[in-house]
Amino acid sequence: MAREFEHDGEYGEEWLAIIPSDLGKDGAAYPLSEQRAHLWSLVLEARSIPSRIESGVGGWILNVPAAYFAAACSELRLFEVENRNWPPPVRPHRPLVGNTLPTLSVLILLATFHNLTRLDISLPGHASIDWIDIGNAHAARILDGQWWRLVTALTLHGDWLHLLSNLTIGGIFILLLCRELGSGLAWSLLLGAGALGNLANAILQLSSHRSVGASTAVFGAVGIFAAISMVRYPRHAQRRWLLPIAAALALLAVLGTEGKSTDLGAHLFGFVFGAVLGGIAEKIEGRYGRPGRRLNALLALLCGVVVATAWWCALLYGG
């Protein structure tokens, strides 16, 4: 590889161009890219070694005085060795594509349950069940020990418009999340974010506060996506926050004024706890790998048991 040089009286008679082979990088592209040339120049500047960059044919050339040539090569060689594996490669994540039908089935089940809550159903101990009354996130009753309301409120909706907005807008996020993490893990995180969001809301709201709706969990899904982006792509975290934040603001515009049965506090806390749980899950997945089919199935079954138990407690002790 030909070395270019020039004469200058400032640091002696000769300036030499540093080429990759001087650093043990045989076969590397030369002239340098503009980014590499400026990076090497900054490294030398930090070590008080003079250098200058010039545009060459097909790239850029980094020149140093001949008297500093050996020291410059030594510093750059050390820099390249220390940063050989930086940035670290992004872990490949292939979305799971075999769980769309189960996820849609859960969303359809949620719509079916909404229809059941509109029927005049009688059970032992309940002449006519008022599902909203026994299942809403009533702040005072939650703090009195009726924990099941944290879960049952997520399955209730004030009207069809409330339900459809959650199923259409929220369904998109939930489908994507289930494809990314697996249905069992995704629904576990959503249920956890929704329940914790309702709990935080109950603590901070007036004791008379009531709310229903899956939108707390929907905002949890947005928070989970934000956390996944932050953990998975730390070098571009600032840019990757923009999409989740924009999605949250769009959801607030649509879901934030649904009616008297919903509130912004639950949406906010759902997002926050979604981000926390999503970050923890992504850290664990990075260390142990994505949950397999059996674990996902177990987590999905656990979610179903939690929801069923919550409604059993609501029917038995609610009111």
Residues 259-280 have pLDDT tens digits of: 554 577 888 899 899 999 999 9
22 shares its domain with 167 = no
User: What is the distance between the alpha carbons of residues 59 and 1, in angstroms, rounded to a whole number?
Assistant: 15
Is pTM, for the whole model, over 0.95?
Answer: no
172 shares its domain with 279 = yes
66 shares its domain with 205 = no
Residue 88 lies inside a defined structural domain of this protein:
no
162, amino acid identity = H
Residue 92 lies inside a defined structural domain of this protein:
no
The number of folded domains in the chain is 2
State the residue range of the domain holding 43: 5-82
126 shares its domain with 241 = yes
Report pLDDT digits (tens) over 87-117: 555 555 555 555 677 888 888 888 888 888 8
User: What is the distance between the alpha carbons of residues 63 and 121, in angstroms, rounded to a whole number?
Assistant: 85
26 shares its domain with 118 = no
Cβ atoms of 181 and 93 closer than 8 Å: no
Give the CA-trace dihedral at 240, 242, 243, 246, to 10 degrees: 160
Q: Token pair for residue 305?
A: 């048991």
245 shares its domain with 177 = yes
User: According to the model, what pLDDT value does residue 94 have?
Assistant: 54
User: According to the model, what pLDDT value does residue 80 have?
Assistant: 83
Give the list of residues 6+ apart from residue 212 with CB closer than 8 angstroms, or none.
132, 135, 136, 137, 153, 156, 157, 158, 261, 262
User: What is the distance between the alpha carbons of residues 73 and 22, in angstroms, rounded to a whole number?
Assistant: 7
User: What is the distance between the alpha carbons of residues 197 and 193, in angstroms, rounded to a whole number?
Assistant: 6
User: What is the distance between the alpha carbons of residues 214 and 191, in angstroms, rounded to a whole number?
Assistant: 9
81, amino acid identity = V
Residue 105 lies inside a defined structural domain of this protein:
yes
Residue 126 lies inside a defined structural domain of this protein:
yes
User: According to the model, what pLDDT value does residue 240 have?
Assistant: 54
65 shares its domain with 203 = no
Segments of the chain with pLDDT less than 50: 1-2, 257-258, 261
User: According to the model, what pLDDT value does residue 310 have?
Assistant: 95
76 shares its domain with 109 = no
User: According to the model, what pLDDT value does residue 261 have?
Assistant: 47
User: According to the model, what pLDDT value does residue 4 have?
Assistant: 52
Report the CATH number at residue 104. 1.20.1540.10
User: What is the distance between the alpha carbons of residues 169 and 156, in angstroms, rounded to a whole number?
Assistant: 17
User: According to the model, what pLDDT value does residue 222 have?
Assistant: 86
Nearest CA to 15 out of 54, 48, 42 is that of 54
Residue 95 lies inside a defined structural domain of this protein:
no
User: According to the model, what pLDDT value does residue 123 have?
Assistant: 67
77 shares its domain with 149 = no
Radius of gyration, CA atoms only, the chain: 29
φ, ψ of residue 145 in degrees (nearest 5):
120, 0
7, amino acid identity = H
Nearest CA to 18 out of 81, 58, 71 is that of 71
Residue 90 lies inside a defined structural domain of this protein:
no
230 shares its domain with 282 = yes
